[in-house]
Amino acid sequence: MRYALYFAPCADAPLSQTAAAWLGRDAFTGIEHPRTAETDFPAEDLDALTADPRRYGFHATLKAPFHLAEGVSEADLLAEFAAFAAKTASLEVPSVIIGQLGPFFALVPERQHAPLQTFAASVVEAFEPFRAPLSQADIERRKPDGLPPRQRENLMRWGYPYVFDEFRFHMTLTGPVSDAQSPAMANVLNLRFAEFNGRPLRIDGLALFVEPERGAPFLVHSWLPLKAAQQNG
């Protein structure tokens, strides 16, 4: 069993529902959605292009997947999860857009938002005592020799390369898309997510995801509102 701390809108938020329909699976329920073709993309191609984010569920990574540290129980983690949510204030990202991180498409802030960076860092630090050290196999999966020095240091210290100054908030919508397909994919996503594109995004809750066994689809174990949060939708 691995655990992860992610941002996800609540289960019935319009963004959660739209993303579940796009990815083909709802991480809150485990229910799969039937795939329909889009202009320039047969259904089977979309299945392949969304396979990786579909397994993880719609989210933004805050504390990357981890095994529990020795001597720590799930009950201990849940207690800290509840305490952290109760004392941490919600915030709003002024504008999110459909963007690209290399060959991947994602919902990203239109520009970096300092309160969001601070919030993400606080999650990394608060839940670090619950994380078991990475196995050598897990380290090797990240190909540390190919990472810049700061990211390699983060991997060894925090179990994930993309924390603190290296953190970039993103809610992944595709796996890698070829250069030839990218313009068409951008058009599809801008249409599918038009209601949210260029709009504020309320960071109003924290989700604890679980991976029951390695390689299995992630599921939402618990979702809690942040202090003084107004639910999306």
Contact 133, 72 (CB under 8 A): no
Contact 205, 224 (CB under 8 A): yes
Burial class (CB in 10 A: 0-12, 13-18, 19+), 4: buried
Determine the average pLDDT of the residues in 220-224: 98
Which amino acid appears at position 55 of this protein? R
Structure tokens at 43: 């259904």
Can you tell me the distance from the alpha carbon of 19 to that of 11, in angstroms, rounded to the nearest whole number?
Answer: 11
Least confident of 28-37, 94-103, 170-179: 28-37
Q: For the chain, what is the mean pLDDT? A: 95
Q: Is 53 helix (H, G, I), strand (E, B) or coil?
A: helix
In the chain, what are the domain boundaries? 2-225
> Does position 230 have pLDDT exceeding 60, yes or no?
no
**pLDDT value at position 36?**
85
> Measured between alpha carbons, how far is residue 138 from residues 65, 160, 220 in Å?
11, 10, 23
**pLDDT value at position 233?**
40
Can you tell me the distance from the alpha carbon of 146 to that of 210, in angstroms, rounded to the nearest whole number?
Answer: 28
Reported as a single tens digit per residue, the pLDDT across 119-139 is: 999 999 999 999 999 999 999
CATH of domain 2-225: 3.90.1140.10
> Does position 229 have pLDDT exceeding 60, yes or no?
no
